[in-house]
Amino acid sequence: METIVSVTGGKVRGVTEGGVSSFLGIPYAAAPVGPARFDLPRPVTEWSGVRDVLSFGAGCLQSPYPPPIEALIGHELIAGDEYLNVNVWTPDPGGSGLPVLVWIHGGAFVRGSNALPIYDGGTFARDGVVTVSINYRLGLSGFAAVPGAPLNRGIHDQIAALRWVQENITAFGGDPGNVTVFGESAGAMSVVNLIASPAARGLFRRAIVQSGNASGVAAAGDARLTAIRLAEKLDIEPTPTAFGAVPPERLQAAQDAIALDLMTKPDPDRWGATVITGGLGIMSFFPVIDGDLLPARPLDLITSQPDRAVPLVIGWNREEFRFFTFPAGLDAGITDATLPLMLPRYGIDPAVADLYAAHRPGASAADLFAAIASDLVFRDDATRIADYVVAQGEPAYVYEFAWRSEVARLGASHAMEIPFVFDRLDDAHRLTGPTPPQPLADDMHSAWVRFATHGDPGWSRYDTTGRPVRIFDHPAAGEVPDLRGDELQALRESRTR
């Protein structure tokens, strides 16, 4: 059955099946092509008549994931200019007052789109929540610090999408006063940036941060060095006009070359120290401290400004870093001999590994590195944010996802929770294996629905005394106080010496 809705720009025609209406690829801003690729998002171009929005829209310029990662999560890139678009799923476009979830995808700020099957919001709409997934500018399009161009264009896009939600979600039955923004990986970092940014205040009521980091930003001056290196590869002047005149395929090739150079030759003198440290050795183009959207590091903004606190679900996966090491075979290079040399590069005293090893009899050096790096990059910031949110009187709920996939020795790795959150296990067998536990998806998905609906996911509120953490696992689950608190404390102390 066709369903027509009026939004900013004109009328759109979606489709209703099984009690869920879907509207895919609706533009929320004008196509950022040519020099406009490096400008702030512009108002959407109006259309006449009724526009069919029956299939996913384009994604931003990018290359496929490396083969080991693409084999796990896929890569649904659709070419086109109108890549600033949203998808909407609703149980009742004629209704009103429904809770709203807004999803921001991950991909290290250089890859990803809102078209992945495991991001399909129809499952949330099935359970009464209007769900929106957004695309935004990635890589050099969204985050290259081109001299003369606005910084953090990708974050500006996210804010523009949230404003679109405020202006249009009632047409889909949603309540603009009950919006929860959620994301994973770079999407979770985006959520943290939006919490921290004064420009996003009032655009959402609650937030869910899945495997995010609040320290992954660069100084603008350092990031400009990367943009200059990019211009050198293209043999152009580092200006928005010159970049805008380069064909997309050349931009993509240069972006990939920069990423490879940075990962293989991480010289702070060449790239800027904060590009190396803020990028965690993984990211090449990502948010910067711009004095506007992000006046400082997001962690510092959130933990120093009382008005930044919002009701929050925040958590991590127990073995996040296995995703970055084991599928590509990098674990083979992490040995008892090399681990003590690797940890200082992350500012960690190698002695910390002794405590982690004592708690994990039989663990390999690669296992220990994954555990330590997971805590460093994801868990540390998450608990600091939760501490501050509850200190300001807002509720925070902390979780750890612990179910272990058998695929590629991933364990409870980065991204593993996504199909459980979305209740899309049938689309994720290459990540989870063929028999992921449906009861765990029922549990996790319903918790996200409850939080979006009335702000309580169904487990104990976090506090700075007991520090309860909800463990998502199967068949074992439950709450644990001060989960591995001695390890986290030792990790923090080792970094202050």
Length of the chain: 497
Judge whether 396 and 461 are in contact, CB under 8 Å: yes
For residue 234, the surrounding DSSP H or E stretch is helix 220-234
Task: Return d(Cα 1, Cα 94) in angstroms, integer.
Answer: 14
Judge whether 227 and 278 are in contact, CB under 8 Å: no
Q: Which of 82, 184, 319, 320 is catalytic?
A: 320
Active site residue 487: no
Judge whether 285 and 144 are in contact, CB under 8 Å: yes
Q: Which of 75, 105, 414, 445 is catalytic?
A: 414
- Number of neighbours of residue 420 by Cβ within 10 angstroms: 26
Q: Is 183 helix (H, G, I), strand (E, B) or coil?
A: strand
Q: Which of 133, 141, 185, 405 is catalytic?
A: 185
Pick from 482, 495, 456: which is nearest to 400 by CA? 482
Task: Return d(Cα 216, Cα 374) in angstroms, integer.
Answer: 14
Judge whether 386 and 314 are in contact, CB under 8 Å: yes
The amino acid at 390: V
Question: Which whole-number Å values give the CA distances from 258 to 111, 140, 254, in the listed order?
Answer: 15, 10, 6
Active site residue 414: yes
Active site residue 185: yes
Token digits of residue 290: 């711009």
Query: Which residues are identified as catalytic?
Result: 185, 320, 414
